[in-house]
Structures are given as structure tokens and as C-alpha cells.
Structure 1
């Protein structure tokens, strides 16, 4: 028995919902509509996750300064961080729980469009076609240039969405504060920084993954990733503000602007 069998009842309900929509619209469109409806239901969780990310970004300069000051004293470091979070009414895990709560929904959707029969649901949805290509078929089973073109068009659309996500991730990484090494012996090229630098490129992994799953799952991936990119752009549109110039910043003309208190203002 697979560990994913716990999701089988939910997969059955999702199958019935998509099948019901398929009576009114083509099955491919039903997959897109159902995915959008699920993402709408999950939107409050996405908003909570975005608030958590903004909170961590707002506190990042202060956390960097605390790590610089108390990097050699782990106990004092933890106390200072706890005091900061308590003062700001924030949490280091803010936004993580909403993201975790979304995972079961994504797992159900993936299981429905890849192995519905393993979950006890019929595979009738995957027998329908999109421009003559069965929704349950893989690119390796494409017959003729017309069917191959359907898959290539899907992958091109996924690549376009991934490119938008990549540009946004790179832009966010450039505007994020640079971490200060906790100790004089720390190297700036630590594994964490290297992983952060490579993270934007993971956006293109969706294209490679889509080549391994049926066309129906590819449609789901395209819909949900496009929704994610658009949703994050809207939720984070107010995150990055232009930095005020020194000429228009009152604090810049006073000696107080060079004090530690001023440099930690967020």
C-alpha cells in the first residue's frame, strides 16, 4: 500500500468534480477550471505565507546586525533574536505553516492527473483528448508532428512562466540584504549563499518534470505555476519600494543618521 493512499478519498472527490465539469466543457478546460478553483480556495493561505515572507524581509537587516554582534555567543544570539521577534510580534516560522498546509491539495491534484486508477478513481478523464492528443499520454507516445506540437506548445508555455519566475527571483535576490558573516572566520561563499544563488534556476525544473508526466498533469502544472507567479506578483507588489535619495531623506542631513539606531531602522 502506498503512503499516498491516505489521499485516495480526496482524489475520488476531485475526480468527481472534474468529471462533472467535463459534462459542460471539454475535459482539458475542466482540468484548468478545477485547478483555478482549488487555488482560489487556497488563496487565504497564500496571503498568510506572503505576510510571513514580508515580515522576515522587514526584519532581515536587524537579524543580520544581531548575528554580527553575537555570532560568537549562541546563547546571547538566541536571546536577542527571541527578543526581536517578541518586540515585533513576529515569528521566524511565519508563513511556513500556510505553505505546508497547501501540500496535501497539490498532492491530490498530482495523483489525480498521473495515477487516478491507483487511487481508486477511473481513468476516464485521461481518455479524453486535447487537439487529438489523449490526456493520459506522454510525449514519448506522440504520433506525428501535430501531437508533438501540442506537447511542445505546453512546454514552451511552461518555460515562459518559468522565465518570469526566474526574473522575479533574481530581482528579489539582488534587493535582499547581504548576510553578514557571524564570525571573522566565516566565508562569504557558504553553502547557504550558493543554494540561494541557484534557487532561481529551479523554476525551469517544472519544464523537465512536465516531460515525465501525462499531458493532463502538464496542463495542471501550467495552470498552477502560472497562478503562483501571478499571485506572488500581486501579493508582493508592495514589497519593494524605491530607496529615497539622501537629498530627500531628513535623517540623512543629521548626525543621527550615522548612529547604529538609524542603521537598523527598517
Structure 2
């Protein structure tokens, strides 16, 4: 079943296609053949700018969770076997603190929607019944509509494509490593989360973006490059503004 055959989604995708194509046309005098890639980067920056207030809320939520962590651990020790009462007491704790356990989830939902849209725009040969012109666009010779895995599987990994993808993955991995070192997870000194295996797993999650990037078209991978870089810088600035309790 084609989800985008549903009329409202077809109109939404066609609107996104026309907007991105128009932006690419405007950028051609500056970026030439890389205009579409530049348009994707610009859209990413606009999305991230729009999410700055939510990023502030996310930083406050992280500070709040760190502040409530001792109380949460106390509840788990006292009520660990009574799951229903533990859930009630946890929700009451968040309510008393005027906080939400789901705070900070909106950026993830918005970014998932943007990546999904870019993935679809640079994957479908047709958009709303007309040919998808975006599939003909490139970045330094690397097709924006081709994923790394597809290029490897189809024998289309030439030198320009390999260099572009190498740069994309290198940036994502370096940013992930800096993030892992700068923002170590807050875990209790004892318990299953403190085990070496669990800590290794949590550290490894930082690199999942690089793995995910190999499955999506280059255009969506560019979005990931910009957004992980933005996230690192924004998080560092907000951590200074909203430091975690010692």
C-alpha cells in the first residue's frame, strides 16, 4: 500500500517538493550544481532555528530529571516490587514538581518527520504524478537520491560518491564521539545500568546515526550531518545555562 497515495499526504509531499525545488532554483547562482544540497542544508538550519525554544525546554527537562533522580531511586528501592504503586508515585512526583516525563520528545518527532520527508522526496521516481527532478541533482558528483548501501550494491560507488559519503560519515562519527565524551549518561553508581555491558551499549547508541545514514539517500544524510552538529553546539551552550546538579 502506497501511503502517499492518500490525497492529503500527496498534497503535502508535492508542496514540500515544490518548495525545495524552488529554493534550489534560487540558490543556483550561488551554489551551481550543489544548489539542491545547499537547499537541504538551509531547510535543516531553518528547522533547527524553529526548534530552539523546544531545545531550551529539553535542557530544562534534562536538568529536572537529574534533580529528581535521587527521589526516583528512593521510590524504586521502596516500591520496586509494587509496579502499579511505583507508577502512581512517579506520576505524582512529576506532578508535584510541575514537570512532564515526556518533556523534550517534540524535537525527536519533528526531526523524524523532516528526515522521513527528505527520504521520500529523494527516493520516489514520481511526485504527485510528475517526474521527480530532484533525483537528477548531485553534490560534487554524488547523486543526492542514492544511499551508500545502494551505491555499494549497484556498483555505483565511484570516486566522487565515495569521497562525499566518506566525508559525511566521518563528520557524523566525529560529532558522535565528541558528544559521547562531553555528555556522559547520568546513571546510578549501582544497579543494572551501571554494569560495563550496559554502559558500553549506551555509548554505542551515539554512533547509530552513522549507521542509519548509510540507509538513507545522501540528501537525508546531509540533514543528519547538520542536525547532529547543531545539536552538539546547542546542547553545550544550554548545559552552561542549565547545569546539572552535582
SS of the aligned residue for 1:153 comes to: helix
CA distance in 2, matches of 1:147, 1:75: 54
Asked if 2 retains the 8 angstrom alpha-carbon contact of 1:49 and 1:99, the reply is no
Asked if 1 retains the 8 angstrom alpha-carbon contact of 2:63 and 2:245, the reply is no
CA distance in 2, matches of 1:121, 1:191: 54
SS of the aligned residue for 2:68 comes to: helix
Aligned-pair RMSD on alpha carbons?
3.2
Deviates more, 1:210-219 or 1:188-197: 188-197
Q: How does 1:182-201 map to 2 (within 5 A)?
A: 188-189=191-192, 197-201=200-204
The superposition leaves residues 109-153 of structure 1 with CA deviations (integer Å, 9 ceiling, x where unpaired) of: 33223336366574212212211222223442122x344222212
CA distance in 1, matches of 2:76, 2:92: 13
Asked if 1 retains the 8 angstrom alpha-carbon contact of 2:13 and 2:121, the reply is yes
Q: How does 1:161-180 map to 2 (within 5 A)?
A: 161-169=175-183, 171=184, 173=185, 176-178=186-188
Instruction: Identify which of 213, 219, 232 aligns with 1:210.
Output: 213
TM-score (structure 2 length as normaliser): 0.76
Larger radius of gyration: 1
Instruction: Identify which of 139, 156, 168 aligns with 1:154.
Output: 168
Asked if 1 retains the 8 angstrom alpha-carbon contact of 2:173 and 2:210, the reply is yes
**What is the aligned partner in structure 2 of residue 105 from structure 1?**
114
CA distance in 2, matches of 1:4, 1:207: 27
Evaluate the alpha carbon distance shift between residue 56 and residue 8 of structure 1 in structure 2; reply closer, same or farther with a 3 A threshold: farther
Evaluate the alpha carbon distance shift between residue 33 and residue 204 of structure 1 in structure 2; reply closer, same or farther with a 3 A threshold: same
Q: Does 2:67 align with 1:58? A: yes
Q: How many residues align?
A: 231
CA distance in 2, matches of 1:73, 1:31: 50
Evaluate the alpha carbon distance shift between residue 201 and residue 116 of structure 1 in structure 2; reply closer, same or farther with a 3 A threshold: farther
How far did residue 190 of structure 1 move? 6.5
CA distance in 2, matches of 1:233, 1:120: 45
CA distance in 2, matches of 1:153, 1:88: 45
Q: How does 1:35-184 map to 2 (within 5 A)?
A: 35-74=44-83, 76-96=85-105, 99-100=108-109, 102-115=111-124, 117=126, 122-138=131-147, 139-140=151-152, 141-143=156-158, 145-169=159-183, 171=184, 173=185, 176-178=186-188
Asked if 1 retains the 8 angstrom alpha-carbon contact of 2:175 and 2:229, the reply is yes
Evaluate the alpha carbon distance shift between residue 29 and residue 88 of structure 1 in structure 2; reply closer, same or farther with a 3 A threshold: same
**What is the aligned partner in structure 2 of residue 17 from structure 1?**
19
Asked if 2 retains the 8 angstrom alpha-carbon contact of 1:46 and 1:99, the reply is no
